[in-house]
Amino acid sequence: MAHGSKKAVVTAIVANAVVTVLKFLTAFAGGSPSMMNEAVHSLMDTLNQGFLLRGLTEADRPADQHYAFGHVQKKYLWNLWSAIGLFSIGAGLGLAHAWHAWHNLNIANEAALVEVFGLFFDPLGLALVVLGIAFLIEGYSFFIALQEFVLAMRRDGVSNPFGYLLESKDPTLIAVVLEDSVAMLGLLFAVVGIGLSALTGNGLWDVGFSALIAVMLGCIAFYLGMLNMRFLADMRDQGAEAAFMQVIKKHVEVERFHDLRSIILDENNTVLVAEIELREEAIVPGLRALIDQQVERMMQQIPTHRQVLPEVKSYLETRAAVQSTLERTEEIIGELEVSLQEVAPQVTHIIIEVKGIAGDALP
């Protein structure tokens, strides 16, 4: 499990759960459309980050008889459900509430004073206080997510944060960063909408900014859905394939490769498959010595009077040739795997098939 992603998700869940309660209480008390949309926004963030946490937990399960490479891709499935929920419910409810509030602008539905635990407050002052508290709580969650994002960006050797939003292979962390970013921006929109409505006496400002919060939520959800769809569609690991090509070029016993393919399971696991042809002049000369060593070892394991039999010698030489070829082939594949994982550690599953020996020139 990605520790940074989990820390950011858990922090966001706790922060948004607290803020959701505060916003709903204030929205029901004061009747502000922006505050209601902010409450819905925070509720959806809490639920969707619960989906993200479930995805991380599922992805941490090991391989079993049904999932040969583990459950890592379930993370993207839960992330996709999160994005769909964020779009269909969060953005949809937000727009529906803004539409309803717009049609009821002429109805006085805001109380002069609101009562909270037996105390009376001005609706505007209460809304601003709650938004201020939400800013501090969600700001802390955003700081944790941003901190993990920067660490991941540096670990991957990327300096442009906006480019990393498009290139990162950890959509869970991206989801938390974007949702927290939108949460902070939504708070600003709510303050502006409520403030302008109070200053001008025109509730259209509040309604307009509440609709903007919902639209912004939908845009982020659409992007997150597209991001996770990429990983669920057998996306290739271009970096791993390029690293494999460089490894092949440096290995003197490999002539060429064919049918190079890869699949990204998650940000820490890639499956790479390739076929290779061995170089004749680098493989064949050294096999003779290996075969002789194999024959000598096998000769020592049979009785002396059978060692001189022609059929025994023929069998041992044939078996030694096969054994030596297999061992040398496995050794070369092992060398390629070690070299590849040194430059591309995310390649955790490597399947290399030897298709033969290139070249047919005889001495």
What is the DSSP code string of 271-317? EEEEEEEEEHHHHHHHHHHHHHHHHHHHHTTS-HHHHT-HHHHHHHH
Nearest CA-CA partner of 154 in 174, 140, 168: 168
Place of tokens 């064919």: 258
For 310, list phi and psi in degrees, rounded to 5. Answer: -55, -40
221, 91 Cβ separation under 8 angstroms: yes
Cα–Cα separations (whole angstroms), residue 74 to 49, 89, 146: 15, 22, 24
Place of tokens 């209601």: 36
In this prediction, residue 362 carries a pLDDT of 45
In this prediction, residue 55 carries a pLDDT of 86
Q: What angle do CA 185, 12, 265 make, to 5 degrees?
A: 105
CB count within 10 Å of CB 118 equals: 5
Report DSSP state, residue 270. Answer: E
266, 345 Cβ separation under 8 angstroms: no
CATH superfamily of 3-231: Cation efflux protein transmembrane domain (1.20.1510.10)
Cα–Cα separations (whole angstroms), residue 202 to 106, 193, 195, 207, 264: 10, 10, 10, 10, 52
| Cβ burial, residue 175 (10 Å; 0-12/13-18/19+) | buried
Report DSSP state, residue 87. Answer: I
Q: Tell me, rounded to whole angstroms, the distance of Cα 169 from its chain centroid.
A: 5
Cα–Cα separations (whole angstroms), residue 20 to 25, 32, 34, 37, 224: 9, 15, 13, 11, 22
Residues 6+ apart with CB under 8 A from 134: 19, 22, 23, 38, 42, 187
Rg (CA), the chain: 32
266, 73 Cβ separation under 8 angstroms: yes
Nearest CA-CA partner of 148 in 18, 236, 240, 267: 267
Walk along the chain (363 residues) in steps of 10 and give the mean pLDDT of each run: 71 88 80 74 83 86 82 84 77 79 62 50 71 87 88 84 80 84 84 83 82 84 82 83 93 89 86 89 71 76 74 78 81 92 92 78 47
Token reading at 158: 């990327």
In this prediction, residue 109 carries a pLDDT of 47
In this prediction, residue 1 carries a pLDDT of 41
22, 42 Cβ separation under 8 angstroms: no
Q: Rounded distance, CA 341 to CA 240, Å?
A: 9
Q: Rounded distance, CA 48 to CA 251, Å?
A: 48
In the chain, domain spans: 3-231, 238-358
Token reading at 323: 């054994």
Question: What pTM was computed for the model?
Answer: 0.66
7, 148 Cβ separation under 8 angstroms: yes
Token reading at 220: 């982020």
Q: Rounded distance, CA 222 to CA 217, Å?
A: 9
Q: Rounded distance, CA 17 to CA 45, Å?
A: 9
